[in-house]
Each structure stands twice: as structure tokens, then as C-alpha cells.
Structure 1
Amino acid sequence: MNLTTEQLNKHLDTGSLSAVYIISGDEPLLIQESSVAIRKQAKLNGYDERKVFHVDGKFDWETILLETDNISLFSKKKFVEIRLISGKPGEKGSRVIQEYLSKTSKETITLFIAPKLERSATKSKWFTSICNAGKCIKIWPIQSSQFPQWMSSKLNRFNIKVSNEALEILVHKVEGNLLAATQEIEKLKLLAPKAEISGEVMSSLVTDNAKFNVFILLDNIMEGNPKKACRILQRLKDEGIDVTIILWAIIRDLRVLIKATEATIKKESVDSYLQRVGVWDKRKPLFKKTMNRVSIGQLGQMLRLAGAIDQSIKGLRKGSPWNDLTTLVLTFCGVRPLSSKSFKLFLQNA
């Protein structure tokens, strides 16, 4: 059974536990939080004995099978944690996991922890066996549009009351930096008044820890969020991120959008194309949304703008790459679509 992190928390709040869990993803902090929550509830339910296996390339899988036969003299209830370092147990590991699950005592809870798994791994026998036996929690990076709700839920979980203005200030200060967000909430637990926190109080309590990356920029461009996209672009510039890296990422998405739109025109499956070129499942809705609001002609125009910026970076065209990149971002967001005359002026030195 698949669960989101929010659903996992609700499941654990009932006090009941599944025999098996697997947590996978590429957000270490969220993986850690979910793991701690499961361990904590298991301990409350009397699973005091904990055994941890770190599975690397030299790991002896037979030691896990021995664990099923090893009954402690001090505790019948056991919590077994199996950390799959690479997320690829191999043929022997797959066999052992399936055998282990078939032999595991009802007095044992097993937690598997893995990095983000490839699609082939999620369809493997070992993974499906785990999911069929218990709960599967896939940890996805928190999208910009989801961050306010994530923060609100986390604050509610600790009974910290904030006004809408205070929440907006907190999100603005820490967005994109989960560790900083968690640290600020810990600070609020200690320093914040018991009454609802106002915007003014929040401003005095938190610091600006927002940390962005190119992927967050791309998602906001796809969402058509110009104010946020420009703020992220400025932050990336201030942090010394190479303009070429940002431009390359935008060009890549533009080319995928053009090809996906062409596939639609040909009555081909957009999902199949996006899957074929490696677009993550979480980003597919963003691509489809952008395809609905931007024509293939506009996409082609923006690709030419990107080419002109590339020439500026290489010194083959006059212009400011960062200023021109801002123009491209705004155009991509739909705020400043260039007229034919403006487009020609932009490219005249290309």
C-alpha cells in the first residue's frame, strides 16, 4: 500500500503498525523524519530490540535470514532496519528479501530504507513483495507550490499557531531549504509565544535561509509564476551559479516541450514521449500545463532567444546574458510575450 508522508503520520497516530515499511526517495531530511516517526511508534508499542543492517556491495545477505531464526532472550518484539545503500539488492538480495518476508515473525517490524529507486526497481519482485506485505512511502522533493501547505502541516503538528501573514513570511525566508525550515520550527517551539504568531513577530524570529536550485526555478517557470521565478533567478545569480547552467536547463525543457507538442499534433502519446526522454513523473503535469498555455510557435521563438543569449555568453553578440535571461524567463512565464518587432530587435546582433 502506498502512503504519502502525511498519510504515514496519520497512520502512525492511530497507534497501529504494519509489519513492513519501505521508505525511498532523494530527500534525506524527509526520509529521516519518516524513519524516526516509525521507530518512535514501534518503541511505544514495545518493540525495544533494534537491529540495523547496512547493505553495501560486500554485504552477506545470509545474515538477514539468520535474524529470522534468532530469538532474543530479553525481547520477543524486534525492530529490524535494512538500509539499502544503492537501492539495488541484486539477484541474491532480491531472493533473500522475498524469503525473509515469508519467514518473518509476527513479532517483528521491518523497515527498509532506500534512495530514490529507478522505475525498473519499483516493478521488481523484491520491491512489490515489500509493498504487498506492508506500507510503501515514496519521498518526493517538495514542489514550490506545495511548500506553504507542508509548512502549515508541520506547524500544526507541533501546535504552533501562525497568522496567514506570518506563514507567508516564514515560507519566504526558508523556502527550498528543508533543513533551515525544520530548524526554524524548532526555534519557534522554544521562542514563540503561545498565542497566534503575527507577521511582525515572525519577522523578528526567523532569518532568511531560502535556498534555491535550477530545478525549483524551472518548476516556477512552468507554473507561470513570474515573481517567484525572478526572485529565484536573482538568488542563483547572487550565489554565483553559472548562467550557462541555467540557460542549458531552460533550453533542455524548451526542446522537450517542442517535441512533446509535435507528438500531440501527430496524435501520439505525450506521456509515452515524456517517459522516453526521462521526464520525472512529478514533472509531467507541469509540462502538460505549459503545453496548454504556450503555443509551439512561442516555444520556438523562446528557443531562438535562448540561442541569442548563448551567443552573448560566448562574446559573439552584444548584450547582458543575465538581463536577457530575465527577459526569457518572463516570456516563458507568459508575462512579457515579445512582439515580432521586439523579437527582431532582440536578435539583430545575434
Structure 2
Amino acid sequence: MRINPRQLQQSLSKGLMPIYVVTGDEPLIVQECCDSIRAAARNGGFSERELLHAEHSFDWGQLLSSAGSMSLFAEKKIIELRLPGGKPGDKGSKALQEFAALAGNDLLLLLVLPRLDRSQLNSKWIKALEQNGVLIQVWPVEAAEMPRWIHQRLRAAGLDAEPEAIQILADRVEGNLLAASQEIEKLKLLGSDKLITADLMRDAVASSARYDVFNLIDRALAGDAEGAVKTLQGLRAEGVEAPVVLWALAREIRSLLEIGEKLDRGQPIARLVRIPKRQPLVQSALARLTPARLESLLLRARAVDTAIKGGRDQDPWIGLLELALNLSGKRSI
């Protein structure tokens, strides 16, 4: 069964499935889907949780071993498997198909991975998981949908706002759902039970206007390493969360890979980058960053994500600094 995030709560209310696959590139919605599944699992008696990260050197035997080992103090177990590359390979595909037959009332699998393409969605391992579970596809919120999405989030937070105020926030975050959610949390802290006006919204979001995360991206693309580092330091000083910065950097790296591939096929830059002023920035970055280098940066971004989640003994901001420097064309020490 395939559903979208809006249908998840209704699905969970009907009972837990043995397998949940959450796929998409919107970190906020992916995280919220996972939180809902974990909460439902805890309420369903799944008191033990094991987290596995399937990186390149991952031993897929661990997955089946984890399925067979239950704690003496837990009757039900949830295994959360993160597959940042999105492709399990032959060994992983076989292990996931075997696991699909093991999951049941006492064993639940939560598989988290980036957006899957059509061939991956039609693969044997996805089909096997779908037969016994639910696949939640997280799609990006388009620019035209952002005001409606923000209004819904405001109402859910017990707030309301003028249409102009909503549009100001939509323009400010430029599609970054994590940043929008963070701004809404700031509005809640104002403690106002009145309608949020355009003036109030401008004042509320002005505090982070000096160091914009998208300004960081543009400076890095332009090869302005010093400017990128200053912007990154400013973002940290203003309290911008590390996941927001990582989201922007990782999204840009993936975008460069995709654009570079299409340029090699002969597609024009004007079709691939709609905003004219960004076209020379993208071309400048692609001139100095090879596909192999961009793939390496994605691996670094995944390591930073692991550090943010506490799975790696490293300051995430050091990893973000390295990413910003590398994207600017500078090699970190």
C-alpha cells in the first residue's frame, strides 16, 4: 500500500503494519512521519528499538541477526533502518526480501531512505516490503502550495495570520519547510493570541535576515569561501538549527549532480535553472566540482546528518564548515 503523509494518521489509527517505508527528500515531513510511526509503535507495546545505518560498508547480516534477537525485557521490537544512499545493492535487496517474511506482530521495520526513482519503486525488494507494509512517499511542497502549507501549520499551532503575513513567511523561507517550522515556533513564543499581521510577521522573521541560509549557498556556489564561512558563522550565532543548514547544502549538492548530468546530455542551462541570476553561479560551481567530488560531498553530508542525530562523535558545525568550504572549491584541513 502506498500513501502520502496526510493519510498516515488515519492508517495508524486502523492498526500497525509490520513494515513502514518512508521515502523522500523533505527532512521535516520525513521526521514527522517517523515520529508518528514510533509513537504508534510504543503505544502498541513495542518497547525495544534498534537503529541501524546502512552505509557502504554495512553488513546486511546485521539486519537479519537483529530480527532474530529479542531482549529479555521486551516482547515487541522495532528496527529502524536508515539507508541514505537509497540503493541496498544485491546483498541488501536479498536481506530486505528475507526480512519482509519475518516482520509481524512482534517485529516492526521502519525503513527511511531518500526519494526513490521509478526503477527503484518497481524493484523486487520494494515490492516485497509493500506486500506486508506501507510505503509513505514524501513529495516536496511546491512554491505555489507553500502559503497553504504554512497556514495549516499555523492553525495546528493555535495561531492564525493575515494572507499577506503568510506570503511574507513563504517568501522568506523559499521552500525550506524546516525553516518555516522554526519561524512558526518563534511566533508561538510571542504568546500572542491575536491575528498575526504582516507587520508582526516582518518583525518576527527579521532576526535571521542578516545571515540567510540561501545566501550561504550562493556564496559557496560563487567560490567565495571567506564569505560562505562568515555567513555560516552568522547563522550559527543567530541560533539557526544545524539540520536547516544541512538541508540547504545537501539539496544544492544533489541539484548540482542532476543539473550536471542533464547538461552533459545537451539540455540548456536556461531550462534547468529557471532564475537567470543563479545560472552563472551553478555553471561556476560545476566547472570546479566533478561528479565524483559532488558524490563525495554527499557522503560528507550524510556523516553530518549522523552527527546531528548523535550517532557520530563530531560537532555537526565542524562538518557543515567543511561542506561549505568544499562546495566553495576549497579543501579543508
TM range (shorter): 0.5 to 0.7
What are the equivalent positions in structure 2 for 1:1-350 lying under 5 Å apart? Answer: 1-12=1-12, 14=13, 16-207=15-206
> What is the CA-CA distance between 1:149 and the residue it aligns to?
1.9
Unaligned 5+ segments in structure 1 are 214-234, 243-248, 258-278, 280-285, 287-305, 311-350
Aligned partners of 2:41 and 2:78 also within 8 Å: yes
> What is the CA-CA distance between 1:124 and the residue it aligns to?
0.7
> What is the CA-CA distance between 1:62 and the residue it aligns to?
1.9
| Structure with larger Rg | 1
SS at match of 1:145: helix
Unaligned 5+ segments in structure 2 are 223-258, 284-333
Alignment deviations for residues 310-347 of structure 1 (CA, whole Å, 9 cap, x no partner): 9xxxxxxxxxxxxxxxxxxxxxxxxxxxxxxxxxxxxx
Aligned partners of 2:218 and 2:84: how far apart in 1? 35
Aligned partners of 2:136 and 2:217: how far apart in 1? 35
Aligned partners of 1:177 and 1:212 also within 8 Å: no
> What is the CA-CA distance between 1:21 and the residue it aligns to?
0.9
Aligned partners of 1:79 and 1:109 also within 8 Å: yes
SS at match of 2:78: strand
Letter in 2 for 1:49: E
Aligned partners of 1:63 and 1:47: how far apart in 2? 20
Equivalence for 1:299: none
Aligned partners of 2:168 and 2:72: how far apart in 1? 54
Equivalence for 2:256: none
SS at match of 1:121: helix
Aligned partners of 2:65 and 2:34: how far apart in 1? 24
Aligned partners of 1:18 and 1:135 also within 8 Å: yes
Alignment deviations for residues 22-75 of structure 1 (CA, whole Å, 9 cap, x no partner): 112223333223222322332233322101111122222222222232232211
SS at match of 2:137: strand
> What is the CA-CA distance between 1:126 and the residue it aligns to?
0.4
The 3 A distance-change label for structure 1 pair 54 and 158 is same
The 3 A distance-change label for structure 1 pair 240 and 122 is closer
Equivalence for 2:294: none
Aligned partners of 2:3 and 2:218: how far apart in 1? 38
RMSD: 4.0
The 3 A distance-change label for structure 1 pair 80 and 182 is same
The 3 A distance-change label for structure 1 pair 131 and 156 is farther
Q: In terms of mean alpha carbon deviation, does 199-208 or 105-114 score higher?
A: 199-208
The 3 A distance-change label for structure 1 pair 95 and 140 is same
Give the share of equivalent positions with the same residue, in percent: 36
> What is the CA-CA distance between 1:203 and the residue it aligns to?
2.5
Aligned partners of 1:238 and 1:59: how far apart in 2? 35
Equivalence for 2:301: none
Alignment deviations for residues 112-132 of structure 1 (CA, whole Å, 9 cap, x no partner): 011222332211110111122
SS at match of 2:183: helix
- Report runs of 4+ in structure 1 exceeding 6 Å deviation: 210-213, 235-238
Aligned partners of 2:135 and 2:217: how far apart in 1? 39
Aligned partners of 1:174 and 1:211 also within 8 Å: no
The 3 A distance-change label for structure 1 pair 15 and 57 is same
Aligned partners of 2:169 and 2:201 also within 8 Å: yes
> What is the CA-CA distance between 1:236 and the residue it aligns to?
10
Aligned partners of 1:8 and 1:135: how far apart in 2? 9
Aligned partners of 1:43 and 1:189: how far apart in 2? 28
